[in-house]
Structure 1
Amino acid sequence: MKIKFLGGAGTVTGSKTLIESNGIRILIDCGLFQGIKPLRELNWEPLPILPNTIDFVLLTHGHLDHCGWLPRLVNQGFEGKIYCTSPTKDITKLILLDSAKIQEEEAERANKEHFSKHEKAEPLYDLAQAEKVFPLFRVVKPNEEVALDAEISAKFTNAGHIIGACSIELQLENKTLVFSGDIGRDDDVLLYAPVKPKKADYVFLESTYGNRIHPEEDVKLLLETYINNTVENGGTVIIPSFAVERAQTLMFLLWQLKKEDRIPDIPYVIDTPMGISVLEVFRENRNWHKLSEQECVDMCKIFTMNSEYQETIATIFDKQPKVIIAASGMITGGRVLSYLERYISLPETTVIIVGYQAEGTRGRKLLEGATDIKIYGKYYTVLAKILEIEGLSAHGDQNDLLNWLSEIKPKPKKVFLVHGENEPADELRIKIQEKYEIDCSVPLMGQEFEL
């Protein structure tokens, strides 16, 4: 059996792990690379194997860095089945359509305003190519074994993180391989705790926060303080947010603060059409989260929901203090850029960062103290306050990741650390070896192992 790391190795984006066994090829996740330019350029490169030789794709969840390269895979010849949970299928459809739309719009804008280095800017894929992915989906139920082949089966178990997210247990060649996907937190506001694996010969574990312990923060108090301070100064709060999970968590927390009269009576705006669509996924998949149907309805009532871009423009030029939740979470695209074009240079503005920011993204640059930021080919001076709330992360920290391994008996032969930058992954490697005495490796992009 061969394992090859085609993405998500040495980086938190572009997750793709290839398994070859007895003539069958399985791809775990098919994510888009984000962040620094050398990574983004990999999205345009062909896979080192022909997509039409891949039999199955198994999706851990619907975030762009795990599913966003599927249209390229299908466009280049993949015709196999894509297995995932029902919420993941719904989320992936929304993510891919949104991604295609953004890429089409950005290519069009680059051509119109001539800020592309290419003679003609092209989208990585378009809406029609994204839609060709959908007929290949096959929905699986959590905790049920699915036969992929006569001697290969898969089981999906809840991983927390976002709605529908799962770890995948693969049985083949008398071995058990466990792919963690992205692991959530035991005390998540909306989601149930991740299920720990009980057996595994080989584990492929994410390491996003492999060198970090999340602070014990009172998230509601921080939101209350930041909002009230900004409003007192006549400013606007902008929260760049992932449209899936983070936007809904923020809505829930702001609704609670509003009910408790801890934040002022100003406009609270959700400006992510995809985030609004995800609310429907929440309503249709109540067994995946803690919210009741009535809570879903009630928390939406305090928000203005912008679907059309004309509504975004009206909100941008509304001078009164307000709180905006807009995608994308790492400020790599989406409507949050339109808000920042107008507000990032105003000292009364507060930008609250609430999730992981990959290397090279605008969000990471702002956290690192950038004095200017480039948006659509133009530089803007950063005068806004840039604040961070780490307690809203949907990723488990070092303790959570170590704890997730705690029930595997007997201990695995090897743990591969993926989906992490080199420093966090290496620190987690040392911790795992110290605590469990398990052989642990941090694979490089393109590296291949025989099991």
Structure 2
Amino acid sequence: MKIKFLGGAGTVTGSKTLIETNGVRILIDCGQFQGIKQLRELNWESLPIEPKSIDFVLLTHGHLDHCGWLPRLVHQGFEGKIYCTSPTKDIAKLILLDSAKIQEEEAEMANKNHFSKHKIAEPLYDVAQTEKVFPLFRVIKEKEPFDLDPEITAVFQNAGHILGACSITLTMEGKTLVFSGDIGRDDDVLMYPPTKPQKADYIFLESTYGNKRHPDEDVKLSLETYINNTFRKDGTVIIPSFAVERAQTIMYLLWQLMREGRLPDIPYVIDTPMGIDVLKLFQTNSSWHKLRPDECIEMCQMFTMVSDYEDTIKMIYTVQPKVIIAASGMITGGRVLSYLERYIGKPETTVIIVGYQAEGTRGRKLLEGEKEIKMHGKIYPVEATILEIEGLSAHGDQHDLLHWLSALENRPEKVFLVHGENEPADALRFQIQEKYGFDCMVPFLGQEITL
């Protein structure tokens, strides 16, 4: 059995882990690289194997860094089955179509304004290529084992994090391999705690926050304080947000604050068509989260929901103070850029960062104190107040990741720490060895290991 780390090794993006066993090739996740240019350029490279030779793709969840390379994989010849849960299928379709549209628009804008170094800028993939992915999806149920072939069994189990997110257990060649996917928090606002594995010979564990503990922060108090302080300056609050789960969590917290009389009576805007579509998925997948249907309906009534870009333009030029929730969460694209182009240079503006910011993203640069930010080929001075609320992360921290290993009834032969930058991954390696005595390693991108 061979394992090859084609992505999500030494970085939190581009997750792709290839397993080869008895002539069968399985790809766990098929993510898009994001962040620094060196990583983004990897999206244009071909895999070291023929995509047509891959038999199955198993998706842990629908975030772009786990499913965003599927259109390229299919375009290059993959014809196998893509297994995932029902919410993951729905979310992946939304995210992939949104990604394709954004890439088409950005290529068109780059060609129109001549800010691409290429003679003709092209999207990584387009909508037509993306739609060819969808017939390959096969929905499976959580906790129910199924056979990929007579000698390989798979089972998906809740990982928290977002709707439909699962860890995947594969049994083959007499060994049990567990792929964590992204592990949610034990005390998440909306999602249930992740299911812990009980048996594993090999574990592939994410390490996004492997060197951090989320602060014991009163998130509601922080939101209340930041919004009221900005309101007193007649300013606008912009919250760059992942459209899936994070946007809904922020909406829920703001709704609670409004019910408690702790927020000003100003417009609260959710401007992400995908985030609005995900709200519908919350209503149709109630078993995956804690929010009651009646709460979801009441919460939505508080917000102005913007889908059409014409309404985005109107909202941007609305003079009064307001709170805007818009994608993307790392400020790598999406409508949040349109708001920031207008407001990042105003001292009365507050930008609240509420999630992980990968290396090289605009969100990371703002947190690191950059005084200028480049958007759509233009440089904008940063005069807005940049604040962070760490307690809203959908990823488990070091304590959660260590706790996820606590139910194991056997000692795994090895734990591979993936989906993390090198420093967090190595810090988690040390903690796992210290706490459990498990043999751990941090694989590098492109590394192949024989089990």
Corresponding residue number in structure 2 for 1:92: 92
Amino acid corresponding to residue 165 of structure 2 in structure 1: A
Corresponding residue number in structure 2 for 1:40: 40
Corresponding residue number in structure 1 for 2:301: 301
Amino acid corresponding to residue 121 of structure 2 in structure 1: A
Does 2:379 match 1:379? yes
How many angstroms apart in 2 are the aligned matches of 1:448 and 1:402?
26
- Deviations along 1:272-291, one digit per CA (max 9) or x if unpaired, are 00000001111110100111
Q: Percent identity?
A: 77
How many angstroms apart in 1 are the aligned matches of 2:169 and 2:403?
18
Corresponding residue number in structure 2 for 1:421: 421
How many angstroms apart in 2 are the aligned matches of 1:146 and 1:5?
25
TM-score normalised according to structure 1 size: 1.00
Amino acid corresponding to residue 80 of structure 1 in structure 2: G
For residue 115 of structure 1, give the secondary structure of its aligned residue in structure 2: coil
For residue 229 of structure 1, give the secondary structure of its aligned residue in structure 2: helix
How many angstroms apart in 2 are the aligned matches of 1:388 and 1:97?
29
Amino acid corresponding to residue 88 of structure 2 in structure 1: T
Offset of residue 237 of structure 1:
0.1
Corresponding residue number in structure 1 for 2:346: 346
How many angstroms apart in 2 are the aligned matches of 1:45 and 1:267?
44
Amino acid corresponding to residue 229 of structure 2 in structure 1: N
Offset of residue 307 of structure 1:
0.3
Corresponding residue number in structure 2 for 1:227: 227
Offset of residue 411 of structure 1:
1.2
- Runs of 4+ in structure 1 deviating by more than 2 angstroms, as ranges, are none
How many angstroms apart in 2 are the aligned matches of 1:392 and 1:321?
24
How many angstroms apart in 1 are the aligned matches of 2:220 and 2:434?
36
Corresponding residue number in structure 1 for 2:102: 102
How many angstroms apart in 1 are the aligned matches of 2:406 and 2:28?
23
Offset of residue 96 of structure 1:
0.3
- Which residues of structure 1 form unaligned runs of 5+? none
How many angstroms apart in 1 are the aligned matches of 2:368 and 2:409?
42
For residue 276 of structure 1, give the secondary structure of its aligned residue in structure 2: helix
Corresponding residue number in structure 1 for 2:438: 438
How many angstroms apart in 1 are the aligned matches of 2:67 and 2:59?
7
For residue 409 of structure 1, give the secondary structure of its aligned residue in structure 2: coil
Corresponding residue number in structure 2 for 1:336: 336
Does 2:186 match 1:163? no
Amino acid corresponding to residue 168 of structure 1 in structure 2: I
Offset of residue 87 of structure 1:
0.2
Corresponding residue number in structure 2 for 1:273: 273
How many angstroms apart in 2 are the aligned matches of 1:386 and 1:311?
26
- Deviations along 1:351-398, one digit per CA (max 9) or x if unpaired, are 000000000000000000000000011110001000000000000000
Offset of residue 26 of structure 1:
0.1
How many angstroms apart in 2 are the aligned matches of 1:344 and 1:234?
15
How many angstroms apart in 2 are the aligned matches of 1:28 and 1:410?
24
- Deviations along 1:249-272, one digit per CA (max 9) or x if unpaired, are 001001111111100100000000
Corresponding residue number in structure 2 for 1:143: 143
For residue 420 of structure 1, give the secondary structure of its aligned residue in structure 2: coil
How many angstroms apart in 1 are the aligned matches of 2:407 and 2:264?
46
Corresponding residue number in structure 2 for 1:251: 251
How many angstroms apart in 2 are the aligned matches of 1:351 and 1:170?
42
How many angstroms apart in 1 are the aligned matches of 2:409 and 2:445?
29
Offset of residue 410 of structure 1:
1.0
Offset of residue 437 of structure 1:
0.7
How many angstroms apart in 2 are the aligned matches of 1:286 and 1:402?
28
- Deviations along 1:109-130, one digit per CA (max 9) or x if unpaired, are 0000000000000000000111
Offset of residue 209 of structure 1:
0.1
How many angstroms apart in 1 are the aligned matches of 2:268 and 2:146?
44
Does 2:419 match 1:388? no
How many angstroms apart in 1 are the aligned matches of 2:140 and 2:308?
34
Corresponding residue number in structure 1 for 2:6: 6
- Deviations along 1:411-447, one digit per CA (max 9) or x if unpaired, are 1010000000000000100111111111100000000
Corresponding residue number in structure 2 for 1:187: 187
How many angstroms apart in 2 are the aligned matches of 1:299 and 1:157?
29
Offset of residue 407 of structure 1:
1.0
How many angstroms apart in 2 are the aligned matches of 1:60 and 1:311?
35
Corresponding residue number in structure 2 for 1:327: 327
For residue 73 of structure 1, give the secondary structure of its aligned residue in structure 2: helix
Corresponding residue number in structure 2 for 1:22: 22
- Which residues of structure 2 form unaligned runs of 5+? none
- Deviations along 1:96-154, one digit per CA (max 9) or x if unpaired, are 00000000000000000000000000000000111100000000100000100010010
Offset of residue 409 of structure 1:
1.5
For residue 252 of structure 1, give the secondary structure of its aligned residue in structure 2: helix
How many angstroms apart in 2 are the aligned matches of 1:300 and 1:218?
23
Matches of residues 119-138 of structure 1 in structure 2 within 5 Å? 119-138=119-138
For residue 438 of structure 1, give the secondary structure of its aligned residue in structure 2: coil
Amino acid corresponding to residue 255 of structure 1 in structure 2: W
For residue 61 of structure 1, give the secondary structure of its aligned residue in structure 2: coil
For residue 365 of structure 1, give the secondary structure of its aligned residue in structure 2: helix
How many angstroms apart in 2 are the aligned matches of 1:135 and 1:153?
23
Amino acid corresponding to residue 184 of structure 2 in structure 1: G
How many angstroms apart in 2 are the aligned matches of 1:285 and 1:74?
28
Amino acid corresponding to residue 34 of structure 1 in structure 2: Q
Offset of residue 217 of structure 1:
0.4
For residue 412 of structure 2, give the secondary structure of its aligned residue in structure 1: coil
Amino acid corresponding to residue 296 of structure 1 in structure 2: C
For residue 280 of structure 1, give the secondary structure of its aligned residue in structure 2: helix
Amino acid corresponding to residue 369 of structure 1 in structure 2: G
Corresponding residue number in structure 2 for 1:175: 175
- Deviations along 1:279-329, one digit per CA (max 9) or x if unpaired, are 111111010011111111000001001100000000000010000000000
Amino acid corresponding to residue 118 of structure 2 in structure 1: H
Corresponding residue number in structure 1 for 2:315: 315
For residue 30 of structure 1, give the secondary structure of its aligned residue in structure 2: coil
For residue 200 of structure 2, give the secondary structure of its aligned residue in structure 1: coil
How many angstroms apart in 1 are the aligned matches of 2:188 and 2:214?
12
For residue 386 of structure 1, give the secondary structure of its aligned residue in structure 2: strand
Offset of residue 30 of structure 1:
0.1
Amino acid corresponding to residue 107 of structure 1 in structure 2: A
Corresponding residue number in structure 1 for 2:116: 116
Corresponding residue number in structure 2 for 1:264: 264
How many angstroms apart in 2 are the aligned matches of 1:408 and 1:50?
36
How much is the aligned-residue C-alpha RMSD, in angstroms? 0.4
For residue 379 of structure 1, give the secondary structure of its aligned residue in structure 2: strand
